[in-house]
Amino acid sequence: MQARLDRLEGVNRRKNAVLQGLKMDAKDQSQLKMTVEDIIKKYMEIQIETKAVKRIGPTTCLIELKNTEDKIKLMKNKRKLREYKEQKIYINDDMTKEERGIQEKIRRKAKEERMKGKTVKIGFQKLIVEGERWRWNKEEENWNKDARELEKKGVTPKKKSKN
């Protein structure tokens, strides 16, 4: 039952993004929506269609997009926000509390690996270290090589029994 609810929640969040770091004076939702769309258009140089922009914290707002193509476009161009000098603004996926916890573990591990001098990339629910993909296994509470990574090397990942 809980897994089904989590899947449903994930589907609803799929087209959403969270913008953090924006000092919002606008109490009016339509003004906030215009401000966010202007920043995206000016600094990210993309045009997207938003369904709604809702304030969810003092410097955080939820961006509901009309389609997944716009979400992909937004996420691919989010690094361009570094050019926004007035404030440090970040755009991330809209995640559940559990997913945010996993992403935090991934960021910590990435920092450790970078301190060792390794090349690291962070993706959604994955970490790429020196070209090898790793995922956090929440059941076992440890890092596992991504199944695709194992397939490249000719290793078949073990299937878990449903006992």
What would the DSSP string read from start to end of 123-160? Answer: ETTEEEETTEEEEEETTTTEEEE-HHHHHHTTPPPPPP
CB 96 within 8 Å of CB 13? yes
* Amino acid 51: pLDDT: 92
* Amino acid 14: pLDDT: 86
Exposure letters 129-141 (e unless 16+ CB within 10 A, then b): beeebbbbeeeee
SS3 state at 115: helix
Burial of 63 (0-12, 13-18, 19+ CB in 10 A): buried
Beta strand pairing call for 16-20 and 90-93? antiparallel
CA-based end-to-end distance of the chain: 17
The vertex-16 CA angle with 127 and 122, nearest 5°, equals 10
- Residue 151's identity, in one-letter code, is E
* Amino acid 70: pLDDT: 93
Can you list the residues of the chain whose pLDDT is less than 50?
Answer: 157, 160-163
* Amino acid 120: pLDDT: 92
* Amino acid 75: pLDDT: 92
- Please tell me what DSSP assigns to residue 41: H
